[in-house]
């Protein structure tokens, strides 16, 4: 089921997706921003700050903000670009339903069928949102574009985000991009990431100097802000305490940003609780190191699929192959 509702506390419009098994997701039109993803037990899987501000120009702190057309400070625009603090609209003519999109190249076709009436979408609720350039955007980024986000809540509760950028201009443009995913974790110091070992990363805390990851897996005991470059398509985030593993699969987004502000930065952020850094971890499918250039009429596509599975891990008995294969 797909429903557009007005949030009682913030007055903002959001789309609620409900899957027959009981999982849910919600997407705010402000920012084209996924702000909730719950499993069939009603447990929230994304972190959303208790101090999040639902008012422009501030982006919502938590969920999955979209960084476009610039990630971080990699350019002259405001941090993470403007897509996350603009109002998006629901696409009245979405491309064919979810199954037709995975790996296909027919995303340009349109259909007049409505999300709610489509037979396959009865089982896999989805919504398509669009952000087009307006006059305000044109002043700061003089390119005509169309940015589309499809959010699909799959059977079993997997959450897939498919993003498309189309150059509707008469000249090339270049951008960087990230799906800035805030995962909810029990205690970040009990979490490890597998799938990024031995990779190179740019350290945002050291003027983006390039290092090579040395450890077997990544664990957390201080602030981290890294861009792992050219990563595998599958990354596992293992929450020991919750006995839950997030599996993140991505396409078209070669890099992965890992961020936790830790104590000092947490205190400095107005829209983030002092202790909340313990309960979140950002792992972001991204295209940062090699910016993407589109010629007029060209389209780029990026995809991130998240699933939350019971962890088969026990402290000291890690077997990455169990999570990273298959
Ligand atoms: O505070 P924001 O603008 O939302 O950015 C939050 C964080 O996003 C990314 O993870 C960047 O790598 C960090 O450098 C930044 O601090």
Q: Which of 77, 80, 85 to mutate to test the pocket of ligand 1 (most atoms within 8 A of CB)?
A: 80
- Does the structure show a pLDDT above 70 at 190? yes
- Does the structure show a pLDDT above 60 at 243? yes
Lowest model confidence (mean pLDDT) among 48-57, 235-244, 282-291, 310-319: 310-319
Output the pLDDT for position 41.
Answer: 96
- Does the structure show a pLDDT above 90 at 314? no
Q: Whose CA is nearest to atom 10 of ligand 1?
A: 259
279 phi/psi in degrees, rounded to 5: -110, 15
Catalytic residue among 194, 284, 289, 305: 284
Instruction: Note the pLDDT tens digit of each residue in 84-117.
Output: 999 999 998 888 875 533 433 333 232 333 344 4
- Does the structure show a pLDDT above 90 at 18? yes
Output the pLDDT for position 218.
Answer: 94
189 phi/psi in degrees, rounded to 5: -75, -5
Instruction: Note the pLDDT tens digit of each residue in 126-177.
Output: 999 999 888 888 899 999 999 999 999 998 999 999 999 999 999 999 999 9
Lowest model confidence (mean pLDDT) among 90-99, 126-135, 191-200, 313-322: 313-322
Output the pLDDT for position 96.
Answer: 80
Output the pLDDT for position 123.
Answer: 73
Mean predicted confidence (pLDDT) in 191-202? 96
How many structural domains does the chain have?
1
Instruction: Note the pLDDT tens digit of each residue in 208-242.
Output: 999 999 888 899 999 999 999 999 999 999 999 99
Mean predicted confidence (pLDDT) in 301-321? 73
Output the pLDDT for position 14.
Answer: 98
Output the pLDDT for position 109.
Answer: 30
**Does residue 284 carry a catalytic annotation?**
yes
225 C-alpha to ligand 1 centroid (Å):
8
Mean predicted confidence (pLDDT) in 78-85? 97
Q: Which of 62, 68, 204 to mutate to test the pocket of ligand 1 (most atoms within 8 A of CB)?
A: 204
204 close to ligand 1 (CB < 6 Angstrom): yes
**Is 171 exposed, middle or buried, given 0-12, 13-18 or 19+ CB atoms closer than 10 A?**
exposed
Mean pLDDT, the chain, rounded, equals: 89
173 close to ligand 1 (CB < 6 Angstrom): no
The whole domain housing 132 covers: 2-313+320-324
- Does the structure show a pLDDT above 50 at 7? yes
282 close to ligand 1 (CB < 6 Angstrom): yes
Q: Decide if 52 contacts 271 (C-beta within 8 A).
A: yes
Q: Which of 71, 79, 204 to mutate to test the pocket of ligand 1 (most atoms within 8 A of CB)?
A: 79
pTM of the model: 0.90
119 C-alpha to ligand 1 centroid (Å):
39
Q: How far apart are CA 272 and CA 259, in angstroms?
A: 14
Write the CA distances from 147 to 131, 228, 246, 280, 284, integer angstroms.
Answer: 5, 25, 27, 27, 18
122 C-alpha to ligand 1 centroid (Å):
36
259 close to ligand 1 (CB < 6 Angstrom): yes
Output the pLDDT for position 113.
Answer: 33
Mean predicted confidence (pLDDT) in 27-56? 98
256 close to ligand 1 (CB < 6 Angstrom): no
Q: What is the CATH number of the domain that holds 282?
A: 2.70.98.10
Catalytic residue among 180, 194, 289, 305: 180
Contact partners, residue 212, CB within 8 Å, separation at least 6? 198, 199, 200, 201
85 close to ligand 1 (CB < 6 Angstrom): no
Q: How confident is the model at residue 118 (pLDDT cuts 50, 70, 90)?
A: very low
**Does residue 299 carry a catalytic annotation?**
no
Mean predicted confidence (pLDDT) in 202-212? 97
Mean predicted confidence (pLDDT) in 272-278? 98
54 close to ligand 1 (CB < 6 Angstrom): no
């Amino acid at each position: 089921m797909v429903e557009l509702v007005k949030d009682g506390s913030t007055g903002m419009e959001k789309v609620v997706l409900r899957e027959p098994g009981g999982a849910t997701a919600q997407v705010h039109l402000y920012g084209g921003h996924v702000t909730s993803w719950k499993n069939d037990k009603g447990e929230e899987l994304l972190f959303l700050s208790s101090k999040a501000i639902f008012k422009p120009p501030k982006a919502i702190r938590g969920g999955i903000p979209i960084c476009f057309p610039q990630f971080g400070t990699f350019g002259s625009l405001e941090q993470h670009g403007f897509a996350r603090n603009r109002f998006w609209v629901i696409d009245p003519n979405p491309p064919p339903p979810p199954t037709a999109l995975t790996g296909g190249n027919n995303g340009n076709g349109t259909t007049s069928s409505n999300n709610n009436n489509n037979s396959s979408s009865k089982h896999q609720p989805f919504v398509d949102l669009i952000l087009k350039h307006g006059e305000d955007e044109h002043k700061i980024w003089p390119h005509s574009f169309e940015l589309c986000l499809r959010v699909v809540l799959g059977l079993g509760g997997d959450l897939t985000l498919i993003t498309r950028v189309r150059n509707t201009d008469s000249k090339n443009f270049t951008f960087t991009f990230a799906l800035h995913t805030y995962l909810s974790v029990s205690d970040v110091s009990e979490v490890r990431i597998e799938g990024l070992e031995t990779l190179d990363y740019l350290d945002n805390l050291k003027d983006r100097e390039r290092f090579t990851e040395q450890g077997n897996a990544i664990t957390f005991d201080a602030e981290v802000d890294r861009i792992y470059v050219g990563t595998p398509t599958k990354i596992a985030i293992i929450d020991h305490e919750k006995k839950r593993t997030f599996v993140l699969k991505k396409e078209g987004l070669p890099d992965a940003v890992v961020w936790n502000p830790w104590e000092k930065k947490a205190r400095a952020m107005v829209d983030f609780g002092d202790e909340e850094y313990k309960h979140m971890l950002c792992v972001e499918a991204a295209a940062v190191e090699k910016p993407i250039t589109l010629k007029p009429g060209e389209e780029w596509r990026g995809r991130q699929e998240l699933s939350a599975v019971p962890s088969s891990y026990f402290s000291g008995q890690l077997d990455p192959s169990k999570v990273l294969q298959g």
